[in-house]
Amino acid sequence: MYQIGVKALLKNDIISKIKLFKGLNMCAERIQRFLMAIVLTVTMVLFAQGEMMIAMILQTFVILMVVVWALTDFCPSLWFFGKVFGKCEQK
């Protein structure tokens, strides 16, 4: 019974965060840029702390995702965030 309550709380927490992002006028492209900046920051901190293997794995993942995006014009994170938050308005 306790596990059901925790799952419900987590689901409600995720839904509230999605509503918060939508309220801040966050869209797929902006969220993807923030996510990339956060991952690169975490990688930099891991390098500084000497956690080279984890940092190299994260850095390689980011590089591969950008290369896939450049070659195929398809970014999985933009696709996912576009489904959840919607695309940014064209200027």
Q: What is the pLDDT of residue 11?
A: 63
Torsion of CA 11, 12, 18, 22, to 10 degrees: 160
% of the chain with per-residue pLDDT over 70:
73
% of the chain with per-residue pLDDT over 90:
40
Q: For the whole model, what pTM was predicted?
A: 0.66
| Three-state SS letters, 13-44 | HHHHHHHHHHHCCCCHHHHHHHHHHHHHHHHH
Chain segment 21-48, per-residue pLDDT in tens:
555 677 888 888 899 999 999 999 999 9
